[in-house]
Amino acid sequence: MDREEILNKVPIFAGLNRRHLKRLSKLMVPRSFKTGEAIVQEKDQPAGFFVITSGKVEVVRGGAGGKPQVLATLGPGEFFGEMALFEGQARSATVRTLEDTDCLVMTGWDFRAELSTDAEIAMAVLETVVRRLRELEARVTE
Ligand code: CMP
Residue 47 near ligand 1, beta carbon < 6 Å: no
Per-residue exposure over 4-38, b if at least 16 CB sit within 10 Å of its own CB, e if not: bebbbebebbeebeeebbeebbebbeeeebeeeee
Whether the pLDDT of residue 13 is over 80: the answer is yes
* DSSP-derived 3-state class of residue 89: coil
Q: What is the DSSP string of 35-61?
A: TT-EEE-TTSPP-EEEEEEES-EEEEE
Q: Which of 18, 108, 10 is nearest to 52 (CA)?
A: 10
Distance of CA 44 from the midpoint of ligand 1 (Å): 13
- Which of 7-21, 31-45, 76-90, 105-119 is predicted with the least confidence, judged by mean pLDDT? 7-21
How large is the average pLDDT for residues 11-26?
87
Whole-angstrom Cα distance, residue 118 to residue 41? 28
When the pLDDT of each residue in the chain is averaged and rounded to a whole number, the result is: 92
Residue 126 near ligand 1, beta carbon < 6 Å: no
Whole-angstrom Cα distance, residue 7 to residue 52? 10
Give per-residue pLDDT as tens, 53-104: 999 999 999 866 778 899 999 999 999 999 999 989 999 999 999 999 999 9
Distance of CA 72 from the midpoint of ligand 1 (Å): 8
Distance of CA 101 from the midpoint of ligand 1 (Å): 17
* Rounded alpha-carbon distances, angstroms, from residue 39 to 134, 137, 141: 25, 25, 29
| Phi and psi, residue 128, nearest 5° | -65, -40
Closest atom of ligand 1 to CA, residue 136 = 18
